[in-house]
């Protein structure tokens, strides 16, 4: 039996993935993987996701240069969520979000509204060409 068969894939053949920074424990992003993306991630040691908007594999950093070196791959107790422990690399280290921030979870609920609580480390105009 293949290790990928242990995963409870959804009806679209996807599993949710959380990318967590190994050094800080910060949750950097949430994404999806299909079997091919997870197998490729394990093979090359860098995060490869399934882009639902592009309908294709997405090697994190292929456009921005902000790659994720995978330290470990874990599976939750229900076998339906993957946790990647990663080192966030790139031209401007520490940027995981397409908005130029450290984490995609930069908005915090405060008094009935969402407030940005993390700075933009690099303008996305200078990241994506």
State pLDDT tens for residues 40-67.
999 999 999 999 999 999 999 998 999 9
- What residues pair up with 98 in beta bridges, in sequence order? none
Which CATH number covers residue 87?
3.10.20.810
Q: How does DSSP assign 24-52, residue by residue?
A: T--EEEEEEE-HHHHHHHHHHSB-EEEET
Residue 129 within any structural domain of the chain: no
Does the pLDDT at position 68 exceed 90? Answer: yes
Answer yes or no: are the C-beta atoms of 46 and 28 closer than 8 Å.
no
Residue 84 within any structural domain of the chain: yes
Residue 65 within any structural domain of the chain: yes
What is the pLDDT at residue 129? 65
Residue 57 and residue 50: Cα distance in Å, rounded?
5
Ramachandran region, residue 41 (left: φ > 0; alpha: ψ -120 to 50; beta: rest): alpha
- For the chain, how many structural domains are there in total? 1
pLDDT tens digits for 69-127?
Answer: 999 999 999 999 999 999 999 877 789 999 999 999 999 999 999 999 999 999 888 88
Residue 113 within any structural domain of the chain: yes
Backbone φ and ψ of 125, nearest 5°: -60, -30
- What residues pair up with 86 in beta bridges, in sequence order? 21, 70
Residues 6+ apart with CB under 8 A from 105: 27, 28, 29
Does the pLDDT at position 128 exceed 90? Answer: no
Residue 112 within any structural domain of the chain: yes
Residue 30 within any structural domain of the chain: yes
- The whole domain housing 33 covers 3-121
pTM of the model: 0.91
CA-nearest of 28, 89, 39 to 64 is: 89
Residue 109 within any structural domain of the chain: yes
CA-nearest of 68, 56, 75, 60 to 23 is: 68
Residue 57 within any structural domain of the chain: yes
């Amino acid at each position: 039996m293949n290790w990928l068969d242990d995963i409870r894939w959804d009806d679209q053949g996807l599993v949710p993935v959380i990318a967590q920074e190994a050094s800080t424990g910060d949750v950097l992003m949430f994404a999806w993987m299909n079997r091919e993306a997870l197998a490729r991630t394990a093979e090359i040691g860098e995060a490869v996701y399934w882009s639902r908007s592009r309908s294709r594999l997405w090697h994190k950093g292929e456009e921005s240069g902000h790659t994720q070196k995978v330290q470990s791959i874990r599976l939750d107790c229900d076998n339906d969520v993957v946790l990647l422990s990663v080192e966030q690399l790139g031209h401007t280290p520490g940027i995981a979000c397409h908005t130029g921030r450290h984490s995609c979870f930069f908005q915090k609920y405060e008094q009935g509204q969402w407030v940005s609580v993390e700075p933009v480390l690099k303008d996305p105009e200078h990241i994506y060409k």
